[in-house]
Amino acid sequence: MAAIQVDNVTRTFGSVTAVDELSFTVEDGELFGLLGPNGAGKSTLINVLVTLLEPTEGTATVNGHDVTSETAAVRNSIGVVFQEQALDEDLTGEENLAFHARLYGMGRRERTDRIDEVLELVGLTEVRGDPVGTYSGGMKRRLEIGRGLLHEPAVLFLDEPTAGLDARTRRDTWEYIQRMNEDAGVSVVLTTHYIEEAEHLCDRVAIVDDGEIAAIDSPTALKATLGGTVVSLTVHGAVSALCDRLEEQSWVLEYARTDVGVNVTVERGETRVADLVHLADNVGAAITSVDIHRPNLETVFLSLTGAMIEDREDADGSAGEHRTQNAPLDTVDGRSEIATTEDDE
Q: What is the mean pLDDT of residues 132-153?
A: 91
d(Cα 208, Cα 191) in Å, to the nearest integer?
10
pLDDT-derived band at 330 (thresholds 50, 70, 90) equals very low
Burial class (CB in 10 A: 0-12, 13-18, 19+), 306: middle
**Which range, of 44-53, 170-179, 323-332, averages the lowest pLDDT?**
323-332
Could you please report the per-residue DSSP string of 289-334? EEEEE---HHHHHHHHHSS-HHHHHHHHTTTT----TTS-TTEETT
Burial class (CB in 10 A: 0-12, 13-18, 19+), 119: buried
Residue 340: predicted pLDDT:
36
Q: What three-state secondary structure class fits 177?
A: helix
- As a whole-number percent, the residues of the chain with pLDDT over 90 amount to 59
For domain 4-217, the CATH superfamily is P-loop containing nucleotide triphosphate hydrolases (3.40.50.300)
Q: What is the mean pLDDT of residues 61-79?
A: 95
pLDDT-derived band at 3 (thresholds 50, 70, 90) equals very high
Q: Could you tell me the residue ranges of all domains in the chain?
A: 4-217, 227-294
Instruction: Answer yes or no: are the C-beta atoms of 35 and 205 closer than 8 Å.
Output: yes
pLDDT-derived band at 336 (thresholds 50, 70, 90) equals very low
Q: What is the mean pLDDT of residues 156-178?
A: 87
Residue 313 CA, distance from chain mean position: 15
Q: Regarding predicted confidence, which is higher, 337 or 88? A: 88
Instruction: Answer yes or no: are the C-beta atoms of 42 and 191 closer than 8 Å.
Output: yes
Has residue 312 got a pLDDT over 90? no
Has residue 304 got a pLDDT over 80? yes
Instruction: Answer yes or no: are the C-beta atoms of 138 and 165 closer than 8 Å.
Output: yes
Could you please report the per-residue DSSP string of 91-150? SBHHHHHHHHHHHTT--HHHHHHHHHHHHHHTT-GGGTTSBGGGS-HHHHHHHHHHHHHT
Query: Comparing C-alpha atoms, which of 336, 343, 329 is closest to residue 73?
Result: 329
Vertex 100 angle, CA 46 and 42, to 5°: 10
Enter the DSSP assignment of 271.
G
Vertex 86 angle, CA 102 and 191, to 5°: 110
Query: Comparing C-alpha atoms, which of 176, 84, 95, 85 is closest to residue 130?
Result: 95
Could you tell me which CATH class the domain 227-294 is placed in? alpha beta
DSSP H helical segments within 230-308, as ranges? 239-247, 273-282, 297-305
Alpha-carbon distances of 187 from 31, 62, 156, 253, 302, rounded to whole Å: 6, 11, 6, 37, 28
Query: Which pLDDT tens digit goes with each residue over 169-213?
Result: 888 888 888 888 888 788 999 999 999 999 999 999 999 999 999
Q: What is the pTM of this model?
A: 0.74
Vertex 124 angle, CA 120 and 129, to 5°: 115
Residue 302: predicted pLDDT:
82
Burial class (CB in 10 A: 0-12, 13-18, 19+), 336: exposed
